[in-house]
Amino acid sequence: MKKHIIALAGLLAGAMMVTSCSQARLDDVEQLGAIEVDKTYAEADDATAQQLIANVYVTVKYLMMGDWGVHYIATTSAKTAECWPGGSGPNDGTDYHRMSAMIDDSENNAYKEMYTRFYKIMYKCNRIVDQLNDGSDERKRVIAEAKAWRAWAMMRLTQLWGSAPLVEHVLDGDKYSFYPGNSDPEENWKWIMQQFDEAQAVLPSKSGLGGQKAIGGRWTKEACYAYMAQGYMWRNDYENAKIELAKVINSGKYELWTKTATMGPSSYGVNMELAKSNNADTWKDGNEEYEYLTLYRAEADFCDEFLLELDIDGDATTIANTEPYWFRAYMNWRKDEVNLPGNTTTASDGWGFINPTKTFAQAFARHDGNSIRRRANVATYSEVYHDFPYLSESARGVMSSGLFENEGYFRMKYYDFVDDVVPERFASGQTNGNTTNFPLMRYADVLLMYAEACCMSGEGTANITGLEALNKVRQRAGLTPAPALDMDNEEYGIKAERRFELWLDDCDRYVDLIRWGDYKDFITDTSDKGVSEHWGNECVWLLGMKDKNVRTDDPLDVSNYEVRYDPLSVRGSWNDRLYLFPFPYAETTQNPNLDQNTGW
């Protein structure tokens, strides 16, 4: 699969590239109606079919990993108030800052970009389903993958926008209008589940434990089962969710990742050893006692926990010029405001977006303490300063300018580890080559969905109980077993477990809050159990430490950090419109059949 993704940009030309890459809005499809059915599809051989579906995977990568804006992950995290939008200051990343202050509108570019890219996925998949010949098993598989991807895209459109138009065929202006109107969400869900079901009937399963690499990042039966279950959970249909989840669990082909690493020399790879050698006179080693789960490191690519992942590896051109670079640039710590540790890419860009709020980080710390899971997701400023390796011991910590939108907690999830960069590129001084895959569906989510479904409606047919499923996730995190299934218990409840286990995974937290009916209560709770008094009212700067010689093992202790809060000039307030995203202004003004969501 990978070789086809790499080759696609250079190989697909003519009508295919004109029609699939230039769309800005749904009504732009009008220009496609004049184009006769592309023989590329009707006469495609297996290799061409693989190139066509590879283009869909690349488009999904664009959506999830961004280019000039990590809109998907930034929007869904800003909406849950568990991450500061970040950037260089209040005027950087204004799309996300307006969301956090509840003053955004339908002209917000982040909504438009997400909406457009979801429909680009739909369009490219529709061309495959409508037009690709099914003359071989491989082409049947490609058609099934297209059905799965368009079901996935329509699922997210329906969850985030509600009555998003169901576009199940290539629009031609005759049988299928260029201006599709709002759809009934229930009809969308029926179609979504049908597409997943048709896809799973054709798609292969991996051979067993350790078999994911042979399939790569492509769809499998079990991935379809998991997403069907996710759809059933949204609709509170726990019985059918348990049936689909049991298929994954009982297959015996998936298990949780358990490998760990430390910040110390025992975990240094080739690139770290080179960095240490090149800076021998000033180097500071990291702490062996800072141990974390390596689930989001390159070594976990194609592991048995991932049911579906975006395959990031490729040749040098692909790495340098496609979405992983932009994703890393946005998500890397702000390199001109904090001295970066020696185990991250110091020469590449770091723009400092998506930083955990204190309320989230401390909720995580109260729940997990110093677990390998917490340290894989969030590090305290004390840990960053004292436990991480550095090129120079004298160049550590926040710079004099202060670090924007940081309260003393640093995001470790999606951290750009030096040792995950292609060694040849790092050795030549090029550090923007992180090859770590991006997981979309994990077995941990499957287990937690099963635990929830059992909690809500009794045991299912899986070969483990709901409590055993929950405790598998807790055990991996290093926590004590839960004594019973409970949704709301702060110590071992399923809601808390999903909050911390799945933080920044797809849009899981936002979707969970909506489907549980908890969103308004959470987002308007200004206590430390909610979003705090600072969220949306102020921006924050981490100025440094009061005493750099003081190290604390208590992740809740922020007494040594200097933090300043600056009031925002404009602040919104809760409105029920926030339960749904707005349809982009460009869509509603040019599509007479599309009604805007209430309140926008």
CATH code: domain of residue 219: 1.25.40.390
Q: What is the largest CA-CA distance in the chain?
A: 72
> Phi and psi dihedrals of 437, rounded to 5?
-70, 165
Structure confidence at residue 318 (pLDDT): 37
Q: In the prediction, which pLDDT does 433 show? A: 76
Three-class SS state of 561: strand
Model confidence at 37, pLDDT cuts 50, 70, 90, reads low
Task: Please tell me the distance from the alpha carbon of residue 163 to that of residue 323, in angstroms, as a whole number.
Answer: 29
Query: Using one digit for the tens of pLDDT, what is the confidence trace for 125-165?
Result: 999 999 999 999 999 999 999 999 999 999 999 999 999 99
* Residue 4 in this model has a pLDDT that exceeds 50: no
Within-domain flag for 596: no
User: What is the tens place of the pLDDT at every residue in 98-135?
Assistant: 999 999 999 999 999 999 999 999 999 999 999 999 99
Q: 3-state SS of 454-469?
A: HHHHCCCCCCCCHHHH
Do the beta carbons of residue 508 and residue 405 sit within 8 Å? Answer: no
Say what the pLDDT of residue 177 is: 94
For residue 9, tell me if it sits in a domain. Answer: no
Q: What are phi and psi of 527, to 5 degrees?
A: -85, 175
The tokens for 148 are 């799965």
In whole angstroms, how large is the CA radius of gyration of the chain?
Answer: 24
Confidence of residue 3 (pLDDT cuts 50, 70, 90): very low
On whether residue 597 sits in a domain, the answer given is no
Task: Confirm whether 526 is domain-assigned.
Answer: yes
User: Which alpha helices (H) appear in 485-545, and where do they start and end?
Assistant: 494-501, 508-516, 519-523
- Given a cut of 70, whether residue 315 has pLDDT beyond it is no
Mean pLDDT of all residues in 540-552: 97
Asked whether residue 140 is assigned to any structural domain, the reply reads: yes
Secondary structure string (H, E, C) spanning 80-104: CCCEEEECCCCCCCHHHHHHHCCCC
Q: What pLDDT shows up at residue 324?
A: 59
Is residue 432 predicted with pLDDT exceeding 80? no
What long-range pairs does 133-142 form, CB within 8 A, spacing at least 24? 133/41, 133/42, 133/43, 133/44, 136/46, 138/46, 138/49, 138/50, 139/44, 139/46, 139/49, 140/202, 141/202, 141/203, 141/204, 142/49, 142/50, 142/52, 142/53
Q: Are 373 and 501 in contact (CB under 8 A)?
A: yes
What pLDDT score does 435 carry?
83
Q: What is the pLDDT of residues 214-231, one digit of tens each?
A: 998 999 999 999 999 999
Range of the domain at 487: 41-590
* Residue 431, pLDDT above cutoff 80: no
Please state the domain count of the chain: 1
Instruction: Return the pLDDT at 513.
Output: 97
HSE (side-chain half, CA atoms, 13 Å) at 17: 8
Provide the 3-class DSSP secondary structure of residue 217: coil
Q: Mean of the per-residue pLDDT values for the chain?
A: 90
User: What's the burial of 42, exposed, middle or buried (CB within 10 Å: 0-12/13-18/19+)?
Assistant: exposed
Alpha carbon 71 to its chain's center: 11
In a domain, 35, yes or no: no
Residue 23: Cβ within 10 Å count: 18
Residue 111 lies in a domain: yes
User: Is residue 2 in a domain?
Assistant: no
Tell me: the pLDDT tens digits for 284-311?
Answer: 999 999 999 999 999 999 999 999 999 8
| 72-88 average pLDDT score | 93
pLDDT score of 18: 30
pLDDT of residue 511: 97
User: What is the percentage of the chain residues whose pLDDT exceeds 90?
Assistant: 81
Sort 267 into a burial class: Cβ within 10 Å, 0-12 / 13-18 / 19+: buried
On the question of pLDDT at 328 being above 80, the answer is yes
